[in-house]
Amino acid sequence: MKFEKELDDLRRFRDALGNIEKQEVYDEIIKACMAEESALSSADIPSVLDAILLAAFVIDRKLINKVARHVDLLEENILRLESKVNSAENEDT
């Protein structure tokens, strides 16, 4: 299968990275993309690598959106706490 052959070729790229940390990050990317294997194998995209990159972008966007929502909640909490602190300071004076 073309998909498996290109993944084998990409494994050589992984080994060429040399740095263990980079290899671990590479493994995480491939693992996340393989969770979308059915989408990758049915994709009408010229290259398996292109399909993998597209899947990685989708996964990254999902994580970015999650982090952005979390940051928004943290900002709201900070503003609420600042307001409480200001109210308490005004009551003390």
Rounded Cα distance, 25 and 86, in Å:
45
Q: For the residues of 29-75, what is the DSSP string, one character each?
A: HHHHHHTTHHHHHH---S-HHHHHHHHHHHHHHHHHHHHHHHHHHHH
Total domain count, the chain: 1
The pLDDT mean for the chain works out to 81
pTM of the full predicted structure?
0.51
Rounded Cα distance, 74 and 35, in Å:
30
29 with 54: CB under 8 angstroms? no
| Segments forming the whole domain that contains residue 78 | 2-92
pLDDT in tens, 77-86: 999 999 999 9
**pLDDT, tens digit only, all 93 positions of the chain:** 566 677 777 778 888 888 888 888 888 877 777 776 666 666 666 676 776 776 777 778 788 889 999 999 999 999 999 999 999 888 876
Q: What is the pLDDT of residue 10?
A: 77
